[in-house]
Structure 1
């Protein structure tokens, strides 16, 4: 071989070696430890009216007339509907269950119009019908389209004309259109409504303006403008503020909501897919109603739309130990699915995986495809159970589910549970049982005082790396003040430091509707018109948008005995950025020494983001946000000192050349 040929071969080899090296993370800092790339995600539960009346964009409340006293003693099938008969009209409205639209949707309403008033001098609409004010009013915006639909059937001989209007509280019409009912079988009718004026507390009226008798069900009003313009979609501004967190995953449909208030109230995924009129509505464990309109298809679609991995949670075949509405420390409320029903239930879980990942030609993949998603959703994770009391009945059923799914789908990473607390009997039993089965990830939950988070941010340093990994699925520090957010930031720094054993984490709960909260604090508060991110939200966002895939030790010199000053450094191999996080929950500034010697080619100008203020500062809902991140440029060197302000979280993102 000639020297020239050798030179060409060497150049080719060098190019291949360098390409492979770059793809594998060339330039990684010294002593870096690989950590989870799915560390920061979100947990969605239908609590605090997070779904119906919240993220789910449906504007009509009790659209299918399925409300009942089992949810609230004062509720009934006509709750949130008002009988209207303008123009001295009269007739009857009553509830019916014979020959329903679908067996999962058994209740509907019959309207019998006996007389439509046409008195002299009256110029408004006349007729008999129903008015719905939605969830504390409907927000209507001028110029926007709202899609009305309903199912109806004619119960008299002649066709009936309906006037569909949006009105303000004074009865002024904001949008209107008409429909005609002409068939005796259940038929879906729809019509657009274009708002000519805006209002925050509008209502929807369905008014029969001709005599006759008809049935109606699933009366729906959706803004045309949903998140990503999805049909049966999500409220766009609320979905976007969640998307802005850039979560790596979304756990859904809830925590205690999943195993339910009694076996009959367990969340069954098959009841939440398919056409909305065929989905089974039921009472919500948190004390209201869930339509199932935001169901498994919509959850998976949302995950795909925001680039997050879906993490569905299925019941472990036992109900919530707090069933019956009281907190039973002994877990006496837990009920177990009969063993002779377990094989059918296990198949239901296996069918879920086929629905999510199977080809469109498979039985359940075809159901997904029929909903508009022929391609698989690429499910990777599946959680079994939530905060269960670790009883023999739970262990037996969990084992049956776990072993069946593992055998059929070894590609799915299964997640177990260790009860509702950070320690105690259920925690110890849960981990012992999970380790016996070699469950790859175990879900931990705890809500406690911010001082606990500051005192325990080294918690996972001592975890055994040879056993199951940790998913910190629910946590919060009982408050939305700056002090709470900084304490949580300090704890999240501990999660990063232990990102080899803590592979996932999510603050909880995610959403809380103002005036309808069953649980506080929440990450994001909202009403029908506005969104109020907490300071905690901004901390979560800074971590999730500035995550790394390597942890770099000894970049910030710290005293481990100092519980109020915590720091970490991670490396993002995709961008080549070093990311330093500093949390000071103390009342005095703290000086730290930063050594970037582990990195090559440090760029002198970094991006710095700071959250700081007084410990009791809070983003009040009736005032503009007072505390939010502030970003500027900051000069760095290979070694430099930095003074961390009291009660602050500081993030410094430093560019390095590959």
Structure 2
């Protein structure tokens, strides 16, 4: 039978690959939205672990873009949120203790001045219970045979009874139990450390119960329940807080070249006092004071606190472990412009402090511990060597003349303090409009070392069309796409016509866009999908890269697209010679080892492609294919161990002979083809 004539003839000649791909082209963006950090990446399974959670009072502010307000959000510290006590009384003593004036109260001194702790008064048997970060009565993921280490600080007042701990399921059945061992805590005079090991005998959602058997008073603080298989186990650098392994591994699969953190709107805050303060996120965990999370606006009862157990130190360590550059995003003294109009005056001490915080961040990450107090804090945590830091984003989705002036001041301060650091300029929340044009004009007046950050959340159709967005962009200033997705925010779309989030349709549109990113990888400096992580049933954003529950993580169709691009991109852009039919997009990059060609067919018709790669080695090319029906999703429910996978890549091999191969490109399909090149010995 005569083979069908190829409908597309495509040549990818590595000899013509002379333009370099940005080394940070595909990255990741981590923000504590959807309980991504507390309840997710943070390996501590106990919610409100220090009895200091700060929460929004609902109805005291707005989450509506159209209703900008000067009104200050009302918050409260809720020491009992996520906790329950049975069989005894609980109190939270005053924490401002002056030992000189009140020597009799020395036994009431908290771990850290101004911090809180719980005081239990037991008259026989008192149980302290925590169900984790879920809404249910049991939200801790107990996995069969996986060791859980319990650690808490206690201070006994005429109490000599034993302590015990157990995990119980939703019906109260015991999954694991152990007595606690109490030993001195040298770093905390007057306190003791109580520890136990719990090993569940089956998989189940669970609650932690800590029992105090006896009569008297016990103070409790800093309760931690950590799986033994956490990320960083056995590594002395991970000395303060640790991460959930399966989530780090899902991020690592993306092969991110950079990680953007901590936001997002969290950077700016609901008001300026709520702006992310990196200094409260480093140092010993017990010294990290919590704050409310502005995404609590979108939760039931404002139930979202930032504990900062995962802070800048853990973020930089994760970047180091994954081989990704850190891209910290710093505030500029402007609260979230979508929700507030509060701004710190440029001539104020408060704004000067904001600028100094940025310089101190540089010193903390890269300075000499022998001469700098912030660098000394890093070394004390276990990292005397400097972290790699060569770029900083100044502002997130800020825009307008006031922002540009603050950007200029901070940029000049950064360059004077540490020459050579690249800075990222926000183009605002919309990738078009007057303020967007102002940002680009500002960057072109000061192009050296400046990258303009564009954000967009648009429909799949718009995202496909954006594959050509950067074809004609002047090459004087590079662009970042720090947040994007082929999904309109649900608040902007009526429910009857709202697209299905994380469907294959959206993933394929993002693949089409990324072909344009690869073709323009000289001027596109970096891209990162948003949001990254989502605790199912607890999210504030419906379209996310990785879903997770207390047991496991689920990679979405969109995750597979990001991984296929991030893991296969090479170092140089390959121009393509082809007449592509409408709806078919392509890009190619080359390294010394191979040429990688991406093909995206957004139509329903099949295509036969003859791919010619001069210099290809005879043998086989690796072909990875992603295809599904438009509404297909990978779904995970709250209590599932594995979930349902409808979109999975297929890997195959195709013969390469005389520099050519044939690819059958199905409708609605992404294909990544890795063609090995001949070595010098084979020439």
Which residue is equivalent to 1:225?
A: 229
**Alignment partner for residue 30 of structure 1, among 10, 16, 29?**
16
Given that residues 512 and 522 in structure 1 are in contact (C-alpha distance below 8 angstroms), is that contact kept between their aligned partners in structure 2?
yes
Which residue is equivalent to 1:266?
A: 275
Given that residues 331 and 354 in structure 2 are in contact (C-alpha distance below 8 angstroms), is that contact kept between their aligned partners in structure 1?
no
Which residue is equivalent to 1:617?
A: 632
Which residue is equivalent to 1:441?
A: 451
The alpha-carbon deviation at position 412 of structure 1 amounts to 1.4
- C-alpha offsets along residues 244-303 of structure 1, whole Å, 9 cap, x if unaligned? 111111111121111111011011111000111100100011111110001001111111
The alpha-carbon deviation at position 539 of structure 1 amounts to 0.7
Given that residues 578 and 655 in structure 1 are in contact (C-alpha distance below 8 angstroms), is that contact kept between their aligned partners in structure 2?
yes
Given that residues 42 and 250 in structure 1 are in contact (C-alpha distance below 8 angstroms), is that contact kept between their aligned partners in structure 2?
yes
State yes or no: 1:166 paired with 2:171: no
Relative to structure 1, the CA distance from residue 42 to residue 64 in structure 2 (aligned partners, 3 Å threshold; closer, same or farther) is same
The DSSP-based 3-state class of the residue aligned with 1:211 is: strand
Given that residues 619 and 627 in structure 1 are in contact (C-alpha distance below 8 angstroms), is that contact kept between their aligned partners in structure 2?
yes
Relative to structure 1, the CA distance from residue 566 to residue 296 in structure 2 (aligned partners, 3 Å threshold; closer, same or farther) is same
Which residue is equivalent to 2:647?
A: 627
Given that residues 154 and 194 in structure 2 are in contact (C-alpha distance below 8 angstroms), is that contact kept between their aligned partners in structure 1?
no
Relative to structure 1, the CA distance from residue 168 to residue 556 in structure 2 (aligned partners, 3 Å threshold; closer, same or farther) is same
Question: How many residues of Structure 1 are paired with residues of Structure 2 in the alignment?
Answer: 599
Q: Distance in 1 between matches of 2:218 and 2:346?
A: 42
Counterpart mapping for 1:424-573 below 5 A? 424-438=433-447, 440-466=450-476, 468-478=477-487, 479-559=501-581, 562=582, 564-573=583-592
Given that residues 54 and 290 in structure 2 are in contact (C-alpha distance below 8 angstroms), is that contact kept between their aligned partners in structure 1?
no
Q: Distance in 2 between matches of 1:337 and 1:216?
A: 44
The alpha-carbon deviation at position 639 of structure 1 amounts to 4.4
Given that residues 263 and 335 in structure 1 are in contact (C-alpha distance below 8 angstroms), is that contact kept between their aligned partners in structure 2?
yes
The alpha-carbon deviation at position 96 of structure 1 amounts to 2.7
Which residue is equivalent to 2:497?
A: none
Given that residues 617 and 678 in structure 2 are in contact (C-alpha distance below 8 angstroms), is that contact kept between their aligned partners in structure 1?
yes
Given that residues 105 and 279 in structure 1 are in contact (C-alpha distance below 8 angstroms), is that contact kept between their aligned partners in structure 2?
no
**Alignment partner for residue 382 of structure 1, among 392, 399, 403?**
392
Task: Name which of structure 1's ranges 498-507 and 584-593 shifts more when overlaid on structure 2.
Answer: 584-593
**Alignment partner for residue 583 of structure 1, among 600, 617, 639?**
600
The DSSP-based 3-state class of the residue aligned with 1:166 is: strand
Given that residues 41 and 247 in structure 1 are in contact (C-alpha distance below 8 angstroms), is that contact kept between their aligned partners in structure 2?
yes
Relative to structure 1, the CA distance from residue 338 to residue 179 in structure 2 (aligned partners, 3 Å threshold; closer, same or farther) is farther
The DSSP-based 3-state class of the residue aligned with 2:286 is: helix
The alpha-carbon deviation at position 591 of structure 1 amounts to 4.0
Which residue is equivalent to 2:665?
A: 644
Q: Distance in 2 between matches of 1:535 and 1:650?
A: 14
Q: Distance in 2 between matches of 1:310 and 1:300?
A: 6
Q: Distance in 1 between matches of 2:507 and 2:190?
A: 53
Given that residues 14 and 574 in structure 2 are in contact (C-alpha distance below 8 angstroms), is that contact kept between their aligned partners in structure 1?
no
**Alignment partner for residue 140 of structure 2, among 138, 141, 154?**
138
The DSSP-based 3-state class of the residue aligned with 2:576 is: coil
Given that residues 556 and 592 in structure 1 are in contact (C-alpha distance below 8 angstroms), is that contact kept between their aligned partners in structure 2?
no
Task: Name which of structure 1's ranges 137-146 and 232-241 shifts more when overlaid on structure 2.
Answer: 137-146
**Alignment partner for residue 602 of structure 1, among 617, 625, 644?**
617
Relative to structure 1, the CA distance from residue 465 to residue 312 in structure 2 (aligned partners, 3 Å threshold; closer, same or farther) is same
**Alignment partner for residue 314 of structure 2, among 298, 302, 305?**
298
Q: Distance in 1 between matches of 2:628 and 2:184?
A: 65
Task: Name which of structure 1's ranges 200-209 and 312-321 shifts more when overlaid on structure 2.
Answer: 200-209
Task: Name which of structure 1's ranges 236-245 and 576-585 shifts more when overlaid on structure 2.
Answer: 236-245
Structure 1 runs, 4 residues or longer, greater than 6 Å off: 181-184
| Root mean square deviation, CA, Å | 2.3
Given that residues 54 and 291 in structure 2 are in contact (C-alpha distance below 8 angstroms), is that contact kept between their aligned partners in structure 1?
no
Given that residues 227 and 239 in structure 1 are in contact (C-alpha distance below 8 angstroms), is that contact kept between their aligned partners in structure 2?
yes
Q: Distance in 2 between matches of 1:367 and 1:635?
A: 56
The DSSP-based 3-state class of the residue aligned with 1:456 is: helix
Counterpart mapping for 1:274-423 below 5 A? 274-287=283-296, 288-323=304-339, 332=341, 339-361=348-370, 362-392=372-402, 394-423=403-432
Counterpart mapping for 1:97-136 below 5 A? 97-98=94-95, 99=97, 101=110, 106-113=115-122, 115-116=123-124, 127-136=125-134
The alpha-carbon deviation at position 145 of structure 1 amounts to 2.8
Q: Distance in 2 between matches of 1:140 and 1:418?
A: 44
Which residue is equivalent to 2:257?
A: 248
The DSSP-based 3-state class of the residue aligned with 1:495 is: helix
The DSSP-based 3-state class of the residue aligned with 1:364 is: helix
The alpha-carbon deviation at position 602 of structure 1 amounts to 3.4
Q: Distance in 2 between matches of 1:182 and 1:159?
A: 15
The DSSP-based 3-state class of the residue aligned with 1:303 is: helix
Q: Distance in 2 between matches of 1:173 and 1:604?
A: 54
The alpha-carbon deviation at position 107 of structure 1 amounts to 2.7
The alpha-carbon deviation at position 176 of structure 1 amounts to 1.2
Q: Distance in 1 between matches of 2:283 and 2:147?
A: 25
- C-alpha offsets along residues 412-439 of structure 1, whole Å, 9 cap, x if unaligned? 1111110111211221122222223335
Relative to structure 1, the CA distance from residue 162 to residue 610 in structure 2 (aligned partners, 3 Å threshold; closer, same or farther) is same
The alpha-carbon deviation at position 72 of structure 1 amounts to 5.3
Q: Distance in 2 between matches of 1:601 and 1:110?
A: 71
Task: Name which of structure 1's ranges 509-518 and 341-350 shifts more when overlaid on structure 2.
Answer: 341-350
Normalising to structure 1: TM-score of the pair?
A: 0.86
Given that residues 318 and 336 in structure 1 are in contact (C-alpha distance below 8 angstroms), is that contact kept between their aligned partners in structure 2?
no
The DSSP-based 3-state class of the residue aligned with 2:164 is: strand
- C-alpha offsets along residues 428-482 of structure 1, whole Å, 9 cap, x if unaligned? 122222223335211110000010111221110111102x211111000013111
The alpha-carbon deviation at position 157 of structure 1 amounts to 3.6
Relative to structure 1, the CA distance from residue 75 to residue 158 in structure 2 (aligned partners, 3 Å threshold; closer, same or farther) is closer
Task: Name which of structure 1's ranges 61-70 and 257-266 shifts more when overlaid on structure 2.
Answer: 61-70
Which residue is equivalent to 2:28?
A: 42
The alpha-carbon deviation at position 101 of structure 1 amounts to 2.6
Which residue is equivalent to 1:57?
A: 43
In structure 2, stretches of 5+ residues that fail to align are: 1-12, 60-75, 98-108, 297-303, 488-500, 638-642
Task: Name which of structure 1's ranges 72-81 and 167-176 shifts more when overlaid on structure 2.
Answer: 72-81
Relative to structure 1, the CA distance from residue 644 to residue 334 in structure 2 (aligned partners, 3 Å threshold; closer, same or farther) is farther
State yes or no: 1:187 paired with 2:191: yes
The DSSP-based 3-state class of the residue aligned with 2:85 is: strand
- Could you say which structure has the larger radius of gyration? 1
